[in-house]
Amino acid sequence: MFSSTKLVVFNKSSVRFIQTELPIKPVIDMKYDLHLPKRSVIGKMPYHVEEPIVFVHGLFGSKRNYSQDCAKLANLLQTPIYTVDIRNHGESEHALPFDYETITNDLLHFVKKHNLKTPSLIGYSLGAKVSMLSLLREPSLFKSAMIIDNSPVEQPEIVPFLKVFRKACVETVTKSNISANDKEYRSKASKFMSKYIPNAGIRGYLLNNCLNSKPKYQSPVINYDDGKIHWRNPVLQLSGYSEENVAAWPSVPEGAKFTGPVGFLRGTKSDFVLQKGRDAIQKLFPNNRIYDINATHFILNERPSEYVGMVADWFKFGRHDVEKLSAKKKSQNAQL
């Protein structure tokens, strides 16, 4: 009666089919929040908008994590900022494939569907690679970008790190036996995870996905009626995808590049932007500027005010300086 890939859950109010495998969807409509700038002191003055900005989060992040940061940036820049949830994260659909090409398709679809005119991008970690690939795939679609702690190269060295992340998430929901009715479910989940991830800040980042009730978007592969805590992401079904695919970098056509201004914010205690990454940045994004910040890869959690200020300064001043320098070089070369 039912396929082998489905389970049936009966409860008092409904019958719900739970799949054991994620559906295949080449493109999804990403859920998003729109942060509009507050009006100036003179209420009737219009927004001084240069272009909209789209913020793309990292692995096991969500748009909700950075809502306050993006609200501040919208005001600082007087520009609307869209924060999106990539597939298998936040309120967006759970589906395969989960790779950079597919997530980039989702982002390009989002920009076109919402008729965003030459937007700029802010991408962090996984979202940084998605943003870079989007710039290279359709350079005429975008104006500029700020890339936070990642580079356009393969990074096999981070796979063990990502495996620990996913294992901690999986075992918290499959082995901790924490009840959804337990008022201390979050602190107990944190304690359980500590044997895999000693850093409380990283655990806190991951625990933003820990649920004790049904979310707005109900995953086709998660049984929310079993009385246990759950993860917002389909961590069981993302085995491999959230590791090897996240550490990867797709091949791009020979000669591909984005010549608009791109800022790179690098954590000085992070290994995500090494020399091989700097070389790739220079080749693919020649009009770049790299900034350092005293942080690990978790810049956004460790230095929230500082990174927001640096991102705002890039869009207000830094990118224009890079554009002027690029124009000057072109003029000098033309005279030779």
Residue 250, CA atoms < 13 Å, CB-side half-sphere: 19
Q: Which of 33, 92, 89 is nearest to 232 (CA)?
A: 89
Q: Using an 8 Å Cβ cutoff, are 84 and 32 in contact?
A: yes
Residue type, 20: T
Question: Cα separation of 217 and 64, whole Å?
Answer: 14
Q: Considering only CA atoms, give the Rg of the chain.
A: 21
Residue type, 132: M
Question: Cα separation of 285 and 289, whole Å?
Answer: 9
Q: Using an 8 Å Cβ cutoff, are 326 and 258 in contact?
A: no
Active site residues: 125, 149, 297
Give Cα separations from 86 to 50, 60, 296 (angstroms): 25, 10, 23
Q: Which two tokens stand for residue 171?
A: 């075992």
Instruction: Work out the angle between the directed axes of helices 185-193 and 200-207 (0-180°, nearest 10).
Output: 130
Q: Do you find a cis peptide bond into 304, omega within 30 degrees of 0?
A: no
Q: Which two tokens stand for residue 170?
A: 């999986």
Element (H, E) at 136: helix 126-137
The residues with which 18 forms a beta bridge, in sequence order, are 7
CA quadruple 295, 297, 301, 305: dihedral positive or negative? positive
Element (H, E) at 20: none
